[in-house]
Chain A
Amino acid sequence: GQQVMQIPQYQHVQEGEDFTTYCNSSTTLSNIQWYKQRPGGHPVFLIQLVKSGEVKKQKRLTFQFGEAKKNSSLHITATQTTDVGTYFCAASNSGYALNFGKGTSLLVTP
C-alpha cells in the first residue's frame, strides 16, 4: 500500500498563530484525503485532493497537493481553540481502503 508519513507529530501553538502539518510519500499518490479528529471523537473527512498542484481552501484551512503528487500540506491561519485535535492525511492502498498517516496533534492555548 501507499504509506504516508506525517510531520510533526505534535504542535502546540498560541491562539492566533498559524499551523502547518505535512504529509509525505515515497511514491506517487493518486489522491490524498485529510481528516480531523477531535479529542474523544472519531475522524471526520475534511477534503480530498486529486490534481497535481491542487490548492483548496476551507475558511482558514488551506490544503495543497504537491506537483509530483508525493506530498501534501494542511495550513491553518490564525488558529482558534476550536482547531484543537488530530489531523490525519490518508492515501488509497490499491483502491479498497485508506492508509492513514500517524497524525499531527494540535494543541491551541488561548
Chain B
Amino acid sequence: DAGITQSPRHKVTETGTPVTLRCHQTENHRYMYWYRQDPGHGLRLIHYSYGVKDTDKGEVSDGYSVSRSKTEDFLLTLESATSSQTSVYFCAIRKDSFSGNTIYFGEGSWLTVV
C-alpha cells in the first residue's frame, strides 16, 4: 500500500462534459503519474508530474490536462469528454530507493463516457 487514493472510483458521464479525476497520496512523493489502460494497448502514460506545478505530457496527452498545486494531489481533467476516453485510469507514484525507482499504482478509476 503506497497511500494512494483515487476518486471517483467509478463514473459515468456524457459526451462533452468536463470530468476531473483526483489522485491523493499521503507519502509526499515527488513523482506522480496518470496512465490509462485499454484492451490491446496496455498502460499508456497520459501526463506526469515531477513536483508542484511541474508537469509534462506523456504519449497520449491529447484531450487531457493536469494540475498539481500541492504535493499530495494530482488532478486529471478531461475538458470535454469523448467516448474514446472511456477507459480505466490509474494514478501512480514513484518511490525512490537505493535499489532503484519503483512505481506504485492506485486502485484505478473506471470512466465511461456515453
Q: Does B79 have its Cβ within 8 Å of any Cβ on chain A?
A: no
Report how many residues on chain B are interfacial, defined by Cβ distance under 8 Å: 25
Is the Cβ of A102 less than 8 Å from the Cβ of B59? Answer: no
Is the Cβ of A48 less than 8 Å from the Cβ of B105? Answer: no
Binding site secondary structure of chain A:
strand
User: Chain A residues with Cβ under 8 A from B104's Cβ?
Assistant: 45
Is the Cβ of A43 less than 8 Å from the Cβ of B102? Answer: no
23 inter-chain pairs at a CB distance below 8 angstroms, sorted by A residue, are A1-B59, A41-B107, A42-B106, A42-B108, A43-B90, A43-B103, A44-B105, A48-B99, A48-B100, A48-B102, A50-B100, A92-B101, A93-B45, A96-B31, A97-B31, A97-B33, A97-B45, A97-B58, A99-B59, A100-B35, A100-B42, A100-B44, A103-B42
Q: Mark B66-96, 1 if CB is under 8 A from A, else 0.
A: 0000000000000000000000001000000
User: Chain B residues with Cβ under 8 A from A50's Cβ?
Assistant: 100
Task: Spell out B's residues near A (CB within 8 Å).
Answer: 31, 33, 35, 40-45, 48, 50, 56, 58-59, 90, 99-108
